[in-house]
Structure formats: C-alpha cells, structure tokens
Amino acid sequence: MKGKKFYIETLGCQMNKLDSELIAGMLANMGYSATDYADDADLAIINTCSVRQHAELKALSKLGHLHHLRRKHGKPSTIAIIGCFAQRSPEYIRKHASYVDIICGPADLDRLPQLIEDARNEKKQIAVSDFRAIRSGRQKYPERLESLDTNRIVNKNQRQAFVRVQRGCDKFCSYCVVPYVRGPEQSRPPEKIIDEIRKLDNVGCREITLLGQTVNSYHCVENGKTVTLADLLYRVHNNCSVPRIRFVTSYPADFSTEILEAMAKLERICPYLHIPAQHGSNRILKLMNRKYSVEQYIELIDTARKIVPNISIAGDFIVGFPDETDDDHQCSLELIKRIRYKNCFIFKYSVRPGTLAEKKFSDNIPDEIKTKRFIELQELQDKIALEDNRNLIGQTLDVLVEGISKKSKTNPSPDGKVQLSARTTDDKIAVFDGTEDLIGQIVPVRIFDVSSLTLFADTV
C-alpha cells in the first residue's frame, strides 16, 4: 500500500482523539501517509461520537460529503466509519449510507488493516462487538485490542499525549449510551501503561493525560494485589520525567482520598479534576442513576480543596432531563454557585436509543425550556469564571504552548509573530503573541486581561 494516502476526521471525546492517533500510526506502518484533503485520499475515515443525536447526524452529513467527493473526483476510494456510532447502529448506517465500505466499532479497531484489505477487494466490512456476551461471560474481552495501544507509533515531536488506562464503563447512567458502545469496564495492566509513557517520555513529551471513562475506578490485579488509580499515579510519576501528568474523567461515587493525597504529594500531577455532577437535584440524580447525592458531591469537592488547595474543578451538567422542574433547575444553579467551577460543559438532554431513560421516561421538556435553562446555567458559569479569572491579572504563570490559536490562523500578524495558545497546570487556556518555535515548550507568561474562558498574557 506504499504511496497511498489517508484522511481522518474525529468527532467527540478525547478517547476518540486517542483512537484516531493510534489508527494514524497503524496506517503509517501500512505505508499510508496523511492528507488534509478527503478528495486526495485513498482511504477516508470518520471517527464518530454517539453521546447525542446531533453528533450522529453530523457524522452522517460527513459521510454524505465523502460520498459526493467520490462521485465527483473518484476519491476517497474507500470510506470508513468507526467509533461509537458505528458500534451502536451498524445496520442503520448500512441502510442509509450503503456506499460506506467499512463499519467498525471501538473494540474492533485493531482489525482495521484486514478490513481495509478486504474492502479493497470490493467486500463491504462490518466489525462490531457483542458486549452483552462479554458482560454475561459468554465471551471474553478481546485481548487483541491491547495491541492498538502497545504498538502506538510515537511522533518524535510529540509534546502532548493521551494514554488510555481504562476501557468501557459499568455505571449505566440512565441517559448514557457509553456502556453500550464502549463495552464493560476494563483496566489496562500497569506495566503496559508505564511502557507506553516511557516511549513518550523518551521523545520529550511534556504532558500526558491518563484516560478512562471513569478513570478513578481504575483497578488492576497484579501479583495478587489490586493496583488503584492512586497507586498508578505514584508509579507513573516515579517512572518518567514528563513535567505534567493529568487524568480524566472522574466519577464522584468512586473517588478516594488516596487519589487526592497523591495529587498533593506528587509535584508533577496537575491540580485539576474533571468531575461531572450532571445535576444539582437529588431527585434528578436518582432518575439519572447517578450513585451519589448532591451532599456527597459537595463533600468530595470540599475535601479536594482542603487536600489540594490550588485545585481547579471542571464539571458537566445536563438540562431538560425528563420531568425536570423549575425547582430542580434552580438546584443546578445553586450547585454551580456553590462549587465555582473553572468551566462547565453544559448540554441539553438528548434521548439515546437503548438507554434506560429512553425506555422509562418521556422526553417531556420542550426544547425552548431546555434552551432557556441551558442559557441560564451557561451565563452563571461564565460570570463565576470571569470573576475568578480576574484574580489572576498581574500574576506570572507557567504555560505549555500547544499551538497557534484560531485567531492567528485567520488573521496572521505582519510582524512575523503569531498568537499562541497555551495551557496552565490547572487547565486554563492562555493566549499570547510569540514565535512558533515556542510550541511544545513550557514558558512563563504574565496575565494582563481575562475573559471567562481565556487568559490574555505577555511573555516574561
């Protein structure tokens, strides 16, 4: 396949971004080179999300565009859809996008080389896993999937990287499709994780993020002893020199103080938690099948701030869940006021086929009310974040330069400098003018202005 090109577009979460990176390395091993243009590609891949209906509709639109390009230009020769939407609805995709050559779920991505070869021989390919059989014990979790991570190709210029520590989810929140499309929870062996991090460390990686659907639930039996996330943090910290180590996403009901104590003791663990509350009403949390109360959530955050005083908290909220009242919504507003998040990801409830909420509840909150409640939560969060960010004006912070900002890409500066986008240890975004050779470096900047989401800075 030497000389062939691939195009990949990623929708959704960090886990999908990691999968796309691993697939790109796999394709490079097969002799493919990357292209930014789908109509120049022999193979085009859409890596999909299924958390909300909008994400699936967007994926179908992307597929339709690829089909249009193939009819017009003859390329991409092979069209593949992978990820959560592919796992959830393979037959629907085959029916409504019959031109797609490969449909592959997240637990079968290691099979892509053979699927691509078979598709080149004009055979339509579908590869999805039977997670019900795995959960019931009738089938084992596919051990072959580990090869996708252990065989990752490390870019010699890679300065940030995701490292998977856990697959799947066993929480079954009533609104969530993840357990059905990502499968049962499985923690990767610690030695595999450390080997992967060492590869990244050896090329000068400056930041790694340990990924799991509920990462604080990580546990793996090694020589008869259980390794927890806290144990893993110590081991990662002691076996690499990477300056910044993060982990996401955490689930409130399984969070141990040992994790917080590790964060406080280990200087290179970033003081940041993404720990979704999802709602401020105990009644709605129960309907959501979230296994904690608002009071327990607040106690956890208070404990986190006591043990790690400079910790930054990010959250998720859903508005418009079935039967949500104005009083329930007010509870979410009060929780945001109480916690004072760095930022929140706020979503309008979207029915996901096959979930418990779809089977038990009617989606009975009108969209205009969902929108109104969404705006109220977002405006409150923006106000809080702006107030807290203003306290940073005049401070000097170390930031990891991630790349050129979107503004600079669209409005280049005539003096040769660009606006760079960078990240603090507690996950705040800072922008400042500088030269491209700073990308991938940790540099000090002084904050002179802020918005709710961005720190504006000068180099020191």
Per-residue pLDDT of 85-115, as tens digits, reads 999 999 999 999 999 999 999 999 999 999 9
- Which residue's entry shows tokens 């003018």? 433
**Within this chain, do residues 234 and 263 fall inside the same structural domain, yes or no?**
yes
At residue 406, does pLDDT exceed 90?
no
Helices (H), 203-325: 229-238, 257-265, 282-287, 294-307
**Within this chain, do residues 196 and 231 fall inside the same structural domain, yes or no?**
yes
Q: Of the ranges 66-80, 81-95, 338-352, 401-415, which one carries the lowest mean pLDDT score?
A: 401-415
At residue 58, does pLDDT exceed 90?
yes
For a pLDDT cut of 70, what percent of the chain falls above it? 98
CA–CA separation, 5 vs 257, rounded Å?
Answer: 48
CA–CA separation, 315 vs 340, rounded Å?
Answer: 10
- For 395, residues 6+ apart whose C-beta sits below 8 A from its C-beta are 446, 447
Per the domain annotation, does 116 fall within a domain?
yes
For 369-407, letters b (16+ CB in 10 Å) and e give: ebeebbebbbebbeebbeebbeebeeeebebbbbbbbee
What average pLDDT does range 362-373 have in this prediction?
98
Q: Look up the CATH number of the domain holding residue 26.
A: 3.40.50.12160
Cβ-contact 188, 197 below 8 angstroms: no
**Within this chain, do residues 11 and 119 fall inside the same structural domain, yes or no?**
yes
pLDDT at 407: 77
What is the span of the domain harbouring residue 377? Answer: 274-390
pLDDT at 90: 97
Q: In one letter, which amino acid is 79? A: I
Partners of 396 in the beta sheet? 446
pLDDT at 409: 58
**Within this chain, do residues 107 and 191 fall inside the same structural domain, yes or no?**
no
Per the domain annotation, does 280 fall within a domain?
yes
What is the maximal distance between C-alpha atoms in the chain?
A: 65
Q: Of the ranges 130-139, 308-317, 365-374, which one carries the lowest mean pLDDT score?
A: 130-139
pLDDT at 111: 95
Q: What angle do helix axes 14-29 and 112-120 make, rounded to 10 degrees?
A: 60
Which pLDDT band holds residue 254 (cuts at 50, 70, 90)?
Answer: confident
At residue 306, does pLDDT exceed 60?
yes
pLDDT at 48: 98
**Within this chain, do residues 258 and 348 fall inside the same structural domain, yes or no?**
no
CA–CA separation, 205 vs 445, rounded Å?
Answer: 21
Summary mean pLDDT of the chain: 95
pLDDT at 1: 55
Per the domain annotation, does 143 fall within a domain?
no
Per the domain annotation, does 147 fall within a domain?
no
**Within this chain, do residues 307 and 364 fall inside the same structural domain, yes or no?**
yes
Per the domain annotation, does 144 fall within a domain?
no
Per the domain annotation, does 145 fall within a domain?
no
**Within this chain, do residues 12 and 113 fall inside the same structural domain, yes or no?**
yes
**Within this chain, do residues 305 and 266 fall inside the same structural domain, yes or no?**
no
Domain boundary among 390, 414, 431: 390
Domain total in the chain: 4
Per the domain annotation, does 146 fall within a domain?
no
Domain boundary among 343, 366, 390: 390
pLDDT at 410: 58
Per the domain annotation, does 357 fall within a domain?
yes
Rounded to two decimals, the pTM is: 0.95
Per-residue pLDDT of 376-398, as tens digits, reads 999 999 999 999 999 999 999 99
At residue 282, does pLDDT exceed 70?
yes
**Within this chain, do residues 283 and 356 fall inside the same structural domain, yes or no?**
yes
**Within this chain, do residues 278 and 265 fall inside the same structural domain, yes or no?**
no
Domain boundary among 390, 408, 425: 390
At residue 217, does pLDDT exceed 80?
yes
For a pLDDT cut of 90, what percent of the chain falls above it? 92
Q: Look up the CATH number of the domain holding residue 305.
A: 3.30.750.200
- For 246, residues 6+ apart whose C-beta sits below 8 A from its C-beta are 207, 208, 209, 210, 269, 270, 272, 427
Q: Look up the CATH number of the domain holding residue 407.
A: 2.40.50
Q: How many CB atoms lie within 10 A of CB 287?
A: 21
What average pLDDT does range 125-138 have in this prediction?
93
Cβ-contact 104, 112 below 8 angstroms: yes
Which pLDDT band holds residue 411 (cuts at 50, 70, 90)?
Answer: low
Q: Of the ranges 19-28, 67-76, 137-146, 312-321, which one carries the lowest mean pLDDT score?
A: 137-146
**Within this chain, do residues 261 and 179 fall inside the same structural domain, yes or no?**
yes
Q: Look up the CATH number of the domain holding residue 225.
A: 3.30.750.210
What average pLDDT does range 178-203 have in this prediction?
97
**Within this chain, do residues 216 and 236 fall inside the same structural domain, yes or no?**
yes
